[in-house]
Amino acid sequence: MTAPIMPKADAAELITAARIRQGLTWSDIAERIDAPVVWTVAALLGQHPVPAEKAAVVVEVLGLGEGVAESLTRQPMRVADDAAASDPTIYRFHEALAVYGPAIKELIHEEFGDGIMSAINFKVDVARRADPDGDRVVVTFDGKFLDYRW
């Protein structure tokens, strides 16, 4: 009898712990698998399926088992908030933050330390960028970093 596939959340915990123990940054891992850093963090936290060859590199670099690699290659379950699903534009922002929010949080903490991005001392901009495959929407959130003070 084969063992059940490790849940993506369990694999993410093992990856995060191994990364910290080894003193690696998310950027270090992204470079090793030749992938964008935000995508890498989101994928390793369970929000994207990771190609088998990249999953194999991750578990080798972090000294983790085949069960983690198998979990990484699986398609994630993404659940939408019913309230956000009523408007397509708002839903896409909700979806983007559901997939990339944990990755962005990890990268903010890695770069700045323990704190948050202010939504009070905050600027947002929306711009159009021409692209041969169709114009792109560029949204920039620019918030002051607020460190937690104990």
Calculated CA dihedral for residues 28, 29, 34, 36, nearest 10 degrees: -90
Count structural domains, the chain. Answer: 2
- Cα(132)–Cα(32) distance, integer angstroms: 30
- Cα(102)–Cα(32) distance, integer angstroms: 21
Region for 25 from its dihedrals, namely left if φ exceeds 0, alpha if ψ lies in -120 to 50, beta otherwise:
beta
Same domain, yes or no, for 136 and 102?
A: no
Same domain, yes or no, for 12 and 47?
A: yes
Same domain, yes or no, for 26 and 99?
A: yes
Please state, in angstroms and as integers, the Cα–Cα distance from residue 102 to each residue in 5, 63, 69, 79, following that order. Answer: 23, 23, 20, 15
Q: Over the stretch 26-61, which tens digit does the pLDDT of each residue have? A: 999 999 999 999 999 999 999 999 999 999 999 999
Give the residue numbers spanning the domain of 139: 114-150
CATH code of residue 31: 1.10.260.40
Same domain, yes or no, for 18 and 45?
A: yes
Q: What is the pLDDT of residue 1?
A: 64
CATH code of residue 121: 3.30.1160.10
Same domain, yes or no, for 104 and 119?
A: no
Same domain, yes or no, for 9 and 67?
A: yes
Q: Over the stretch 79-105, which tens digit does the pLDDT of each residue have? A: 767 776 778 888 889 889 989 999 999
As annotated, the active-site residues are 92, 95, 118
Length of the chain equals 150
Q: Which of 36-40, 66-70, 88-92, 145-149 has the lowest mean pLDDT?
A: 88-92
Same domain, yes or no, for 58 and 129?
A: no
